[in-house]
Amino acid sequence: MQEPNTLGALDAAARMAAGTLTSEALVLACLERIQARDPDVLAWAHLDPALALSEARERDRERREGRVRGPLHGLPIGVKDIIDTATLPTEYGTPIYRGHRPAADASCVVAAREQGAVVLGKTVSTELANRHFAVTRNPHDLAHTPGGSSSGSAAAVADRMVPLAFATQTGGSLVRPAAYCGVTGYKPTYNSINGAGIKLLAPSLDTLGVYGRTVADAALFGSALIGFDMPSFPSAAGAPRIALYRTPQWSLAEPSMAAAFDAMPARLQAAGAAVAELALPPAMDAIIDASNIVNDYETRRSLAYERVYHLDRLSPTLGGKLVQAGRWSRVQYLDALRTVDACRHMLEDGLRGFDVLVTPSAEGEAPRGLENVGKTAFHQMWTMLHVPSVAVPVFTGPSGLPMGVQVIGVRGADERTLQAAHWVEQALRG
């Protein structure tokens, strides 16, 4: 018999609806998996098993009484530890906030509970969701990084500790861990999920998203939070029109990723998709530098308290970034925003006649060692452009670790992007 913690979110939800699985049994199986594996993986920052089981029993009681809250009813979730929770500590990945207990849940946590989710615990974040590495290891090979900053959430979903988890992205903090850990990461259109109660870094970039084991699982979580109808899979719309885009950072792709990406068009076409290479104007290359300026400028101001009063308690990685970020002037920041706006129009024009764009989801496999959380290549431009992106693990690298692609849509076209991502997932995994 399949252990409940190995079930995807959709499967588990269906079994609970049919009465063949309880939320309590599912949460207990997840907790047992955590007890067995987390001493090695180190995905969790805070757990309260008694509280999680109490919430699960309450969901089971509600179901018996015919009061199902929503599509997430009884499903356990992980909450990244930069997202406020009143029932568990929220330490933002830094000793500056050791033992911090917010007065209220973040809006997204309230929304998830309103839809019936059970908060299993808080997952590890890198320091203030920046690039200094955390303790979490890649569950596929403990000698490799899970990526950052949503390292704990990605590792927990990948290792069957929880079926769903929250993640955030300012540069590549959602998509990169999804790529390295081999899970689906869904970064919605900017500001689709309310960010109240989340530790801000760069408000023009910060995007809250979700992890699941498949595109359909991630779509279940995302649609429940955002409010659109759960897409029907497979789509009745048929094969998508796909634009392949190598991005201005193609030179950073490792040979294994480049080879897999080059072989992909034939597989997509054989499955029925219309596929063409996309060439955007050279001016699009400016998005990378513009994104770096916006990120630096806004992060320095968002973390003003930590920079001014606790610089000695920050890592050299983050402390140095905040100090160096002072070099950008207001004029340079506004120029960068104008560049970004121009690039948004270029992308929208380039995607006319296509349903989605497909790029690598990372430069290759997860690097060996924990200190290197990976590059922001292939991620940051899509965060800055505010478009929906779905990371789909469809390749295997030379060391046997996951690799994948991103399926990207235009702003607001989240349902269509998820439909196409599901199609790509089925075509390339088959």
So which residues are the catalytic ones? 80, 149, 173
Instruction: Read off φ and ψ for residue 326, nearest 5 degrees.
Output: -65, -10
Report the interhelical angle of 287-302 vs 316-324 (nearest 10°): 100
Within 10 A of 115 (CB to CB), how many other CB atoms are there? 18
Nearest to 23 by CA among 49, 51, 10, 4: 4
Instruction: Answer whether the bond into residue 281 is a cis peptide, omega within 30°.
Output: no
State the chain's maximal CA–CA distance in angstroms.
62
Contact residues for 74 (Cβ-Cβ < 8 A; gap 6+):
12, 13, 16, 22, 23, 26, 56, 59, 60, 63, 116, 118
Radius of gyration from C-alpha coordinates of the chain:
20
245: alpha, beta or left? (left if phi > 0; alpha if psi -120 to 50): beta
Strand order, beta sheet including 389-396: 44-47, 118-123, 76-80, 164-169, 207-212, 184-187, 389-396, 402-408, 356-360, 241-244, 274-277
DSSP 402: E
Q: From CA 420, how far away is CA 388, in angstroms rounded?
A: 12
Q: Hey, what are 338's tokens?
A: 């104008």
